[in-house]
Amino acid sequence: MIDRPLHVVILAAGEGKRMNSGLPKVLQPVAGYPMLEHLVRASCSLQPAGVHVVVGHEAEQVRGLLASIDAPRIDSVEQRERLGTGHAVQQAMGSIPDSARVLVLPGDMPLVRAETLSRFGGLICELGILTFVADDPTGYGRILRDEQRRVTGIREQRDATPDEAEVREVNSGVLAADAGRLRGWLDRLGNSNSQGEYYLTDCVALAVGDGHAVEALVCEDADELLGANDMAQLAALERAMQQRRRSELMAAGVRLPAPETVQVRGKVSAGRDVAIDAGVVLEGPIELGDGVEIGAGCVVRNSRLAADTRVAPYCVLEGVETTGAAVLGPFARLRPGTVLAAGVRIGNFVETKNARFDEGAKASHLAYVGDAGVGARANLGAGTITCNYDGANKHYTDIGPDAFIGSNASLVAPVHVGEGATVGAGSVVSGQAPAHALTVARARSRSIEGWKRPARKPRD
């Protein structure tokens, strides 16, 4: 590696008109995170002296993202007039010393690996570019070489001759140079081109004209360097990133019977013998212990599942933690703040929120448990509801160990159900249900002899 301070410049000022979106192009998501965030994190792994993000369109939105990234030495500089990539880099050069090495990256390149940037940054040259061979070079600047295969320049497609347009080696937009020399080339850029812009790529021809060899590193994996100018290209980036994420999981030993159907939209760590079935979506940070099984069609967000937890098909988990082997679903919805101990069973059409279930507790079907603690081995019958909201405030339900809640019971919080208590089916309980006692709170049934069901009036 170069033994000089490294400064990274990321170009994120563009609007991305072809996206037809109110969201700036660099904030469009790929695998659950904005494109720019992928790039910033890859850049920060190089431990640079500074990461300078050039912002422009919707600058405050982009700055908001940068503020949310927990990484040092990130700043932004605004390009008030969008006069081209060369002009954009100039805006960032004021805080970069001439003795530094500068790495310039386009803000819509989420697939580039930190290893690739590190290898490219290690080139010993005054100016280096990262290139790839495209099956379809449309839209990319073409790499021009002489008969000795030396780089002589980069021609943007709009300005290319028919012969130049046939070249398949293309510019990725990634450039590295000594800061002092780059500053001089930027100052000499002209805008005599079809767009009337100052192209960063013209620095290559200026360097060659000054007698400096330009090194071009051809990236073997062209997908790493793909960008996106419209939603179709964004979808292509998503497909490539998903394939990478699934391959990483399988390499770590995760079993994916139908890998092409699984979506990974965040960071997933998994133990041994984890199985994830078809159609599963994983979002945000997720930790899966040894032997976890996730059934078909589940959505899991921001959750930690302990070893041997089994999630049956078509469950939605968000902000859930299991601290031991639990059995969930099918068709369960577990919301943030749900914490489940070993042996807990949450069945079909059960919803939980901000609820703690201790070891062996069960809610097998058709229940809502919110703002509640459920003691060990307690059983909640079908139709049990914790009535936690009075229209203004949330209230807590405390259910003791070994309690038995009959079907269709409503627990009006704040309420305490004692250890070993039984609540009769159909009861509406508020206040207390004493330990080891039967609490029944319902009207006594009665039958009315001779009652006749109303009949419809005849139509006119």
Domains, the chain, in order of start with CATH, read 6-225 (3.90.550.10), 242-439 (2.160.10.10)
- Amino acid occupying residue 7: H
Q: Under DSSP, is residue 62 helix (H, G, I), strand (E, B) or coil?
A: helix
> Mind listing the pLDDT tens digit for each residue in 396-447?
999 999 999 999 999 999 999 999 999 999 999 999 999 999 999 988 889 9
So what's the pLDDT on residue 124?
78
CB 406 within 8 A of CB 363: no
Q: What is the pLDDT of residues 215-268, one digit of tens each?
A: 999 998 999 999 999 999 999 999 999 999 999 999 999 999 999 999 999 999
Nearest to 141 by CA among 153, 150, 151, 149: 153
List the catalytic residues: 365
Q: What are phi and psi of 82, to 5 degrees?
A: -85, 95
The backbone torsions φ and ψ at residue 40, rounded to the nearest 5 degrees and listed phi first, read -60, -45
- Bridge partners of 368? 351, 385
- 131 near 216, Cβ under 8 Å? yes
Q: Is the pLDDT confidence value at 36 over 80?
A: yes
Residue 308 has pLDDT above 80, yes or no: yes
Q: Is the pLDDT of residue 292 over 60?
A: yes
Say which residue the tokens 């901000």 belong to: 354
Quote the pLDDT of residue 2.
52
* Mean pLDDT, rounded, of the chain: 95
- At 386, the pLDDT band (50, 70, 90 cuts) reads very high
Percent of the chain predicted with pLDDT > 90: 88
Cβ atoms of 10 and 52 closer than 8 Å: yes
Residue 162 has φ and ψ, to the nearest 5°, of -55, -40
Q: Which of 184, 34, 220 is nearest to 102 (CA)?
A: 184
* Tens-place pLDDT, residues 8-26: 999 999 988 999 999 999 9
pLDDT at 193: 85
pLDDT at 409: 98
Mean pLDDT, range 64-93, rounded to an integer: 94
Q: Cis bond leading into 162, ω under 30°?
A: no
Spatial CA neighbour of 107 closest among 168, 45, 183, 42? 42
| CA proximity to 73, closest of 41, 49, 91, 42 | 49
Q: What are phi and psi of 140, to 5 degrees?
A: -100, 150
User: Residue range 69-79: average pLDDT?
Assistant: 92
Start-to-end CA distance of the chain, whole Å, equals 93
C-beta separation of 274 from 257 below 8 A: no
pLDDT of 66 over the 70 cut: yes
Per-residue pLDDT band for 333 (boundaries 50, 70, 90) equals very high
Instruction: With residue 426 as reference, give the H or E element that holds it.
Output: none
CB-based contacts of 350, cutoff 8 Å, min separation 6: 332, 333, 363, 364, 365, 366, 367, 368, 369
**C-alpha to C-alpha distance for 372 and 360, rounded to whole angstroms:** 16
Say if residue 372's pLDDT is above 50: yes
Q: What is the pLDDT of residue 125?
A: 86
Please check the confidence at residue 1 and state whether its pLDDT lies above 50.
Answer: no
What tokens appear for 436 in the block?
């080891």
Nearest residue to 43 via CA among 118, 100, 99: 118
State how beta strands 410-417 and 299-301 pair. Answer: unpaired
Lowest mean pLDDT segment, chosen from 38-42, 110-114, 211-215 = 211-215
